[in-house]
Chain A
Amino acid sequence: MSRKFMERTRQLFSWYTLLGIAVLLAIGIGAMWIGTDLLSANREDSSSSPPQQTVPDYMLTDPLLAGKVITWTESKYSFLKNGADPANGQSVRVESWVKVGSDGIPTRAHILSLFEDGAFHQEILVSPDATTIIFGSNYPDVSSGAKTGCRQNWPAYSPEMRKSLLPSFIDEKKLSRFGFAPADLPTPNYPKSSSLVNANPEKTLESGKTVRGWQMRQTSDGITNIEKVLIGERGRVLALETNRTDNTGQVIAENKSVFSSIRIYMTKTIPEKVFSLSDQAHEVCHE
């Protein structure tokens, strides 16, 4: 009886010892893994995913645009400290043509960006299946070894990315909840919209009508962010300005955009050629 009891106790002890070792080993390795990640995150504050920017609920989708072709022009200045883009610290004129599906998601887009002197900067063609980008000759030559020519075939945009090609509309009633306050902002010089086709637009959303200004300022960890926005008819963003400075007041990043009127066309009145590459792109590519 006593011998059996001893044997049984030894067996149980052996079982629990093994189980204990396995659990401790698993917990130990898990803790080491998590600990290493946390230490690394604290030390470098690094993350394997980009800073998330969820679309705030003051964004509107204008039903006027669904099932139409729209065009507008953006006058754009952007600066980034040590930025590598040939247009860094310069102004460009960006002309957009977007065919919007009945669900409000763009099905085609053609974006042409030129420097103020008319020199080619960049051109993008977007469809649900493909994205073609032509970078101007001031960009690094990445085709010297590769036989890709100057056309870059990037992966197709997701529907969410295609939505970001649309002009922005904002519900002003909700803006103050996101840190914006009404502000007197200077009236910008609005660019003219494209004259690529002769067709008459079904409707035009004019810039400069019933303009209201909003401003937001946030400071965190010595970095100050300022956003300014001018809002017009139907809540459309007519102009925006973002500015990020460090604790010495030095500018890290700055963007200024002013948008022309939006011309809205019936799809059938717009020729397919507006969704093909410009002559300038063919010249840049020696095609």
Chain B
Amino acid sequence: MNKFRFIALSIMVVGFMLGDNLPAEASHQGSGYSCITVVSNYPVTGGVLSGDVCAKWFQFTWAVTGHTWAPTSYIISTWIGGYETCGSTWTLTLNAGYRDSYNTTYGPGNNVGGFFMDCAQWQQHRYAVSGSFNRKKTSSSSWEGTTGTGYY
């Protein structure tokens, strides 16, 4: 191995490490969020719409958010909600509500946090985050969009 090959290899190793970490961190909109793409390539006028939901946990609380991506839109509206179950029904524990973004291709949802609920020691405590991902191409066009949910 000559000197140049070795330098090239070193750069590749360092580049791989950077490449593996920095973009992921950037796409999570802040540290600690785990995101799931729940809608991809949903057809809308002028292209496709995608959406993800994100969650992160603290010692006694958790927080949710999400994002919508769409072709250039007059408005993009994103709703995010966090649900929990101990086995039977799902409880809406976090409601981030709708957040609107105008004249854009990207619509972040609100961030909301709160306590997580109790399950008995022997019950499976499961989390789900739902999103409603919507857009209007122009102010006079109708809403286009869909919903998606991810389990944690």
Contacts and interface: CB of A to CB of B under 8 A. Distances in A.
A278 B59 CA distance: 39
Interface residues of B, number: 64
B62 interface: yes
A49 interface: yes
Interface in B132-152: 132-135, 143-147, 149-152
Interface in B38-70: 55-60, 62
Contacts of B18: 29
Contacts of B121: 53, 56, 178, 216, 227
Interface stretch (A163-171, A191-199, A279-287): A163-171
Contacts of B152: 49-50
B117 A80 contact: yes
Contacts of A85: 91-93
A25 B143 CA distance: 51
A148 interface: yes
A41 B57 CA distance: 10
B106 interface: no
Given A84-B81, A133-B90, A44 B32 contact: yes
A155 B132 contact: no
Nearest to B76: A145
Interface residues of A, number: 86
B95 A140 contact: yes
Interface of B: 3, 6-7, 10, 13-14, 17-18, 21, 31-34, 55-60, 62, 77, 79, 81, 85-95, 97, 114-128, 130, 132-135, 143-147, 149-152
Q: Sorted from nearest, which 3 A-B pairs have the closest CB atoms? A: A145-B134, A145-B143, A22-B10
Interface of A: 14-15, 18-19, 21-22, 25-26, 29-30, 33, 36-37, 40-41, 44-51, 53, 55-56, 58-59, 74, 76, 78, 80-88, 92, 94, 96, 111, 113, 121-122, 124, 133, 135, 139-140, 142-148, 152-155, 160-161, 163-165, 168, 170, 178, 216, 221, 223, 225, 227, 229, 237, 240, 242-244, 252-255
